[in-house]
Amino acid sequence: MANVNDMMDKLVSLAKRRGFVFQSSEIYGGTGSVWDYGPLGVELKRNVRDAWWRSMVHMRDDIEGLDAAILMHPRVWEASGHIAGFTDPLVECKNCHRRFRGDNADIQGGQCPVCGTREAFGEPRMFNLMFKTFMGPVEDTSAVVYLRPETAQGIYVNFQNVVTSSRQRVPFGIAQVGKAFRNEITPGNFIFRTREFEQMEMQFFVEPGSDDEWMEYWKAARRQWHEEVMGIRPEKLRFHEHGADELAHYAKRAFDVEYEFPFGWQEFEGIHNRTDFDLKRHQEYSGKKLEYVDPTDTNKRYIPYIIETSAGLDRTLLVVLMDAYREEEVEGEQRVVLRFHPRLAPLKVAIFPLVKKDGLPETARRIHDTFKAAGINSFYDDSGSIGRRYRRQDEAGTPFCITVDGQTAEDGTVTMRDRDTLQQVRISADAVVAYIQERVR
What residues make contact with ligand GAP under the rule CB under 6 A?
Answer: 150, 152, 182, 184, 193-194, 197, 199, 201, 267-270, 308, 310-312, 314-315
Nearer to ligand GAP, 68 or 350 (CB): 68
Instruction: Report the residue number, 150 or 276, with the smaller CB distance to ligand GAP.
Output: 150
- The nearest distance, CB 307 to ligand GAP, in angstroms, is 12
Taking a C-beta distance cutoff of 8 angstroms, is the pair 250, 81 a contact?
A: yes
User: Which residue of this chain has its Cβ atom nearest to ligand GAP in the complex?
Assistant: 312
Q: Which is nearer to ligand GAP, 211 or 269 (CB)?
A: 269
Nearest to 395 by CA among 381, 416, 374: 381
Cα 299 from Cα 279, distance rounded (Å) = 20
CB-nearer residue toward ligand GAP: 151 or 398: 151
**H/E element, 183:** none
Query: Going by C-beta distance under 8 Å and a sequence separation of 6 or more, which residues neighbour residue 168?
Result: 62, 64, 162
| Cβ distance to ligand GAP smaller for residue 168 or 199 | 199
CB closer to ligand GAP, 73 vs 242: 242
Alpha-carbon distance 103 to 88, whole Å?
Answer: 8
In whole angstroms, the minimum distance from the beta carbon of 57 to ligand GAP comes to: 18
Q: Concatenate the DSSP letters of all residues of 211-252 into one string.
A: HHHHHHHHHHHHHHIIIIIS---GGGEEEEEPPTTT--TT-S
| Shortest Å, Cβ 196 to ligand GAP | 8
* CA neighbor of 202 nearest in space, from 277, 150, 276, 129: 150
Q: How far is the CB of 235 from ligand GAP (least distance, A)?
A: 20
* CB-nearer residue toward ligand GAP: 313 or 404: 313
Q: Is 394 exposed, middle or buried (0-12, 13-18, 19+ CB in 10 A)?
A: buried
Q: How far is the CB of 180 from ligand GAP (least distance, A)?
A: 7
- How many residues in the chain? 441
Q: What angle do CA 175, 176, 182 make, to 5 degrees?
A: 130
Contact 238, 265 (CB under 8 A): yes
The minimum distance between CB 256 and ligand GAP, in angstroms, equals 7
Going by C-alpha positions, the residue among 349, 341, 342, 344 that lies closest to residue 433 is: 349
If the CB atoms of residues 100 and 352 are measured against ligand GAP, the closer one turns out to be: 100
Closest-CA residue to 166 (of 310, 298, 65, 248): 65
Please report how close the Cβ of residue 395 comes to ligand GAP at its closest, in angstroms: 25
Report, in Å, the least distance between residue 8 CB and ligand GAP. Answer: 15
